[in-house]
Amino acid sequence: MSPYPPLPPITKWLPVVALAWLVPGGGHFLLKRHYRGAILAGCTVIMFLLGLTMRGYMFEPASGDLLTTIIYVGGFIANVANGVLYIIARMFGYSQPDIAGHTVDYGTKFLVAAGLFNILAIVDAFDIAAGRKD
């Protein structure tokens, strides 16, 4: 027997998940969890902007040996998880070379971390929309 209640209809949680991906914290705002949404949005946006100002590298999918594939595809997924932030940055032509140096390296990690924050926010918004969490 599953420990979770049955999944509600897709129309109930899909808009929340889609908005949560597109706008950091947006899913929580849609579900009227305003202050949690504000904290998640703030953390994601600030980390992303810090990553940009540190000239972090944005991953593009690349294949090669297993480790290279995992790092580049994983990094790309985490970058795309930033939703509208990623889309705007790409639209304005943000592209930095993957060079050595601790500032750029931290910037790259900050961009990835911002995406991972948003993935956590998406999962949290889904749990709330599906009635698994308050």
Partner 1 sequence: MPKINLSHFEATLIFALFTSAVLGVVTKKTDAERLKYGLTSFGWFALTVFGLGWLMYFGHR
**Chain residues in the site for partner 1 (CB under 8 A):** 36, 39-40, 43-44, 46-47, 50, 52-55, 102-103, 106, 109-110, 113, 117, 120-121, 123-124, 133-134
Task: Identify which of residues 48 and 59 has a Cβ nearer to partner 1 in the complex.
Answer: 48
Task: Identify which of residues 18 and 123 has a Cβ nearer to partner 1 in the complex.
Answer: 123
- The label of the residue with tokens 């924050």 reads 117
| The pair of three-digit structure tokens given for residue 10, joined into one six-digit string | 């897709």
Task: Identify which of residues 52 and 85 has a Cβ nearer to partner 1 in the complex.
Answer: 52
6: left (phi over 0), alpha (psi -120 to 50) or beta: beta
Minimum CB–partner distance for residue 66 and partner 1 (Å): 27
Using alpha carbons, select from 120, 122, 113 the residue that is nearest to residue 50. 113
Question: Cα-flanking dihedrals φ and ψ of residue 3, to 5°?
Answer: -75, -10
Task: Identify which of residues 32 and 64 has a Cβ nearer to partner 1 in the complex.
Answer: 32
SS (H, E, C) 60-111: CCCCCCHHHHHHHHHHHHHHHCCCHHHHHHHHCCCCCCCCCCHHHHHHHHHH
Minimum CB–partner distance for residue 99 and partner 1 (Å): 13
Task: Identify which of residues 61 and 109 has a Cβ nearer to partner 1 in the complex.
Answer: 109
Beta-carbon contacts of 132 under 8 Å, excluding residues fewer than 6 positions away, are 4, 5
Minimum CB–partner distance for residue 61 and partner 1 (Å): 25
Minimum CB–partner distance for residue 43 and partner 1 (Å): 4
Minimum CB–partner distance for residue 32 and partner 1 (Å): 15
